[in-house]
Amino acid sequence: MMERGIYFDGWFRHNHCYHPSLPIRSLQMLEDLERYHGTVLTWAGLGGGSISLPFLVHEAFGSVDPRMQIYGYMNDSEFIAECSRRGIKLFGIVFEVQGWEYPVVMDQDGHIVKMNRRAEEDDGHAWYGLREFSAETWPDAFPTGLKDYYPDGIRDEDGNPVKDLWEECCTRDRFGNPIHAQWVEIRDHQETCYQMCRNNPVWRGYLRKIMEIQIDAGVPGIQLDECELPMTSISSGGCFCKSCMKQFNAWLRDRKAEGRLGPEWDSVDLDTFHYGSYLIEHGCTFPENAPFYRDYWEFQVFRVRRYFGELADYARTYAREKYGRELLISGNFYNMQPAYYPIENKVDLVITEMDHTLLRQSFYYRYCAGFAPGKPVIIAENPYGGIIPRLLEMLDRGKGYDLYRIFLLEASMYGCNMSVPYGGWMGNTIKDAFQAPRELTAAVQDFLTENEQCWPKTRSRGAAVLYSYGSYYWRDSNKGSGANGMQDSYGSLLDAAASEWLDPDQKPVPFWDVIRAMSRVNAQYDVVMLPDGEFREDDFSIDRLSDYPLVIAADCFTLTGNQQSILLEYTKRGGRILAAGRLAEGTSLREELLQTGNAVFVLLEGQKESYIPVFMEAFDRIYGGIAPVECTDERVGIQRYDDGGRTWIHLMNYQYDDQKDCIVPIETLRVTVRDAAYRKPEILVPEGDAVPACEAVRKDDLTVVTLRNVGLYTIIAF
């Protein structure tokens, strides 16, 4: 079954999106979720543990004012139960990186009477958050308190009492200053959020208690936000907290003992080394141009793998042992960056928040589908650096409906799912939430649900494009490369709609250059991940390539011995390899592949403007004879699926007219399909759209389909 995600922040229109506690849930929301055929709710509830554990318990089990119950409001555990009854999986959200302090006004009994914005108006307001919870400043603020969770108090890794959880666990820059989570702090508000460090065992212990409460509240799944913690803080100059520095030193000493540190470390005394102090002493910036930065980054990736896995295992065990049920785990795999690949095997489904939400980015969706083969991939939009703010403004004015339909449908077309924004996050500066038109959304969701057999989880009949993690993790870890440059220009849609939606910062990296170029010509391909054997165990097998007539390796300069053997075996069985740039440097693989007669090599010299035409010329020579579906019309995108003798060709029309504010039908479109069962195909379109006229002519193994007046989305079903 196709998972249909709902981006279920539930924040209010024309109001700020206040982290971390999400708005109270209601029966009306349940009606909407059913109307949208939702199966998975992301960023969906129980986020208040970042304020305090008693606050979280109140979200889960607290009483609801009768005045609100009149309108169907309920606490989160009640809402979770109602969702589960309807087959909807609500994922509790653990805001791992967030540690909050809120302005409050307390009465004489220590109960909260005003909080956040209303409390700011009182000059004598107090504070409530992690600090007050750990110091027992307001023990009667909620029915539970510190002793209910820490009977013996909180202690750090050295056994010392912790009276300030906020200061103990926050991330720090090299000067020792705490680092703010600025993207969630609402501008011109007094609420304060520090980034927290999961490398600190005190914070991991606190996160375990958050998950216990969520499981007690009945969640079928848990989503760990910022699951790359504490790498989140790197762009802000962290993390140099005591736990990170202690663990980094231990890691360096182990690497040195293994003979795996470079000669630049020879003059460094690792017994006394403190990375933050070293950078200050030598006048270095961070992370730009910082010495030893790659070692630090790799150390943190290993810690991400270790501690994310530890928390995931703990939550599953707790649910199984206490309640006898299996718990689903996911995270926020923000933009599918390299740091997430080592933990992909620890999740049941992948949830990713895009860095740039744009239109016509099939290469990104294909990469996401290949990142977690066989697993559902649910995508959430991001308000920064993309179309979302403008699209929301257009929808408010009754415009942009076809653009919104493309936004929802495009991810599904290429093997993922774009979650429906239900009060979706609009950042910390825009005073609004993304709540899309109800009937427009429902129509798209009806189409996806009624025809879900048209999107089977099958492999492409075209090419497998290899992503060598060992060759790319470091290049893609730097901003501006890889999926961080998701944008592309195709002419009419983006140029006419708004050229400013494009972010021009694209750092040339061969893998991404190659799949962008292939996507422009509607080539059919899947991304196939190759583990490096260290960050991620090399479990690659020849079965991953068995269905592909062509394998493309773009600058895969390092491959494991296992992977080299598999590629050689693949060519000996008759498969063809197109290798662009380097391939397994320092080995004999190139010569061995050439001896099979099934390998073609092209150089990658200069910038992509010069090497991509060379690559595409070689690609076209090979692909032309095996292309499972072809259409040269640049106004459309194409995806083919096959399953059990059935074939579906999906077409997206990107011919958007800015003045008319709609997708303009294509008068005549010809599509050539190879090896499809021959009978007159059925044409499927969203309800309300005109069905294109169709003619199909068969010659040998090719079927030429001619469509007339092709609308926004069309499925040709054989």
3-state SS string for 628-670: CEECCCCCEEEEEEEECCEEEEEEEECCEECCCCEECCEEEEE
Helices (H), 258-348: 275-281, 293-323
Q: For 546, list phi and psi in degrees, rounded to 5.
A: -65, -25
pLDDT score of 508: 58
Size (the chain), residues: 718
List every span in the chain annotated with CATH 3.40.50: 463-623
d(Cα 482, Cα 479) in Å, to the nearest integer?
8
Q: What is the pLDDT of residue 233?
A: 96
Helix (H) or strand (E) holding 526: strand 525-530
What CATH number is given for 632-717 in this structure? 2.60.40
Mapped onto helix, strand or coil, the DSSP state of residue 93 is strand
Q: 457 near 479, Cβ under 8 Å?
A: no
Q: Are 204 and 198 in contact (CB under 8 A)?
A: yes
Question: What's the distance, CA 99 to chain centroid?
Answer: 22
Rounded CA separation 217/160 (Å):
32
Give φ, ψ of 708 to 5 degrees: -125, 135
CA 388 to chain CA centroid, Å, is 16
- In sequence order, the β-bridge partners of residue 577 are 551, 599
DSSP H or E segment with residue 443: helix 438-450
Residue type at 295 in one-letter notation:
D
Structure tokens at 100: 């909050």
Q: What is the DSSP letter of 66?
A: H
Among 558, 563, 561, 557, which residue's Cα sits nearest to residue 528?
A: 563
Distance CA 291, CA 519 (A): 38
Fold of 5-229+305-454: TIM Barrel (3.20.20)
The residues, ordered by sequence, that sit 6+ positions from 407 with a Cβ below 8 Å of its Cβ are 357, 359, 381, 387, 391, 418
Neighbours of 60 (CB within 10 A): 24
Quick one: angle between helices 293-323 and 242-257, nearest 10? 110
Residue 355 amino acid letter: D
Identify the residue whose tokens are 């933050």: 276
* Alpha helix ranges (H) inside 521-574: 561-572
Q: Name residues whose C-beta falls within 8 Å of residue 596's C-beta, 6 or more positions apart in sequence.
A: 568, 571, 572
Question: Is there a contact between 100 and 191 (Cβ–Cβ < 8 Å)?
Answer: yes
Q: Provide the 8-state DSSP code for 261.
A: S
Token look-up 């030429």 returns 704
Could you tell me which of 438, 442, 618, 443 has the C-alpha nearest to residue 514? 618
375 Cβ partners below 8 Å, 6+ apart?
347, 348, 349, 350
Q: Which of 675, 677, 695, 685 minimizes the C-alpha distance to 715?
A: 685
Closest CA to 55 of 186, 189, 149, 184: 149
Q: At what angle do helices 561-572 and 589-596 cross, to 10 degrees?
A: 10
Please tell me the predicted confidence (pLDDT) of residue 610.
76
Bridge partner list, 629:
673
Task: For CA atoms 298, 303, 305, 306, give the dihedral sign.
Answer: positive
How many other C-beta atoms are found inside a 10 Å radius of the C-beta of residue 686? Answer: 19
Which residues lie below 8 Å from residue 25, measured CB to CB, with a gap of 6+? 10, 45, 73, 74, 76, 79
Contact call for residues 105 and 122 (beta carbons, < 8 A): yes
Contact 102, 108 (CB under 8 A): no
Instruction: Give the count of beta carbons closer than 10 Å to the beta carbon of residue 335.
Output: 18
The Cα-based distances of 561 to 246, 466, 622 in angstroms read 35, 15, 27
**What's domain 463-623's architecture?**
3-Layer(aba) Sandwich (3.40)
Q: Do 86 and 34 touch, CB atoms closer than 8 A?
A: yes
Place of tokens 């259409």: 631
Q: How many C-beta neighbours within 10 Å does residue 26 have?
A: 18
**Three-class secondary structure of residue 388 per DSSP:** helix
The pairing of beta strand 550-556 with beta strand 463-468: parallel
- What is the pLDDT at residue 494? 37
The DSSP bridge partners found for residue 463 are 525, 550
**C-beta separation of 423 from 11 below 8 A:** yes
Which pLDDT value is given to residue 309? 98
CATH 3.20.20.80 residue spans of the chain: 5-229+305-454
Separation CA 186–CA 192 (nearest Å): 9
Tell me which residues of the chain have a pLDDT lower than 50: 480-507
Long-range contacts for 343-346 (Cβ within 8 Å, ≥24 apart)?
Answer: 343/227, 343/304, 343/305, 343/308, 343/309, 344/371, 344/372, 344/536, 345/536, 346/308, 346/309, 346/312, 346/313
Nearest to 191 by CA among 120, 107, 138, 125: 120
**Cβ atoms of 400 and 391 closer than 8 Å:** yes
Distance in Å from the first CA to the final CA of the chain? 20
CA–CA separation, 689 and 687 (whole Å): 6
The DSSP secondary-structure symbol of 506 reads -
CB 475 within 8 A of CB 481: yes
Backbone phi, then psi, for 402, in 5-degree steps? Answer: -70, -35
Residues of the chain with CATH 2.60.40: 632-717
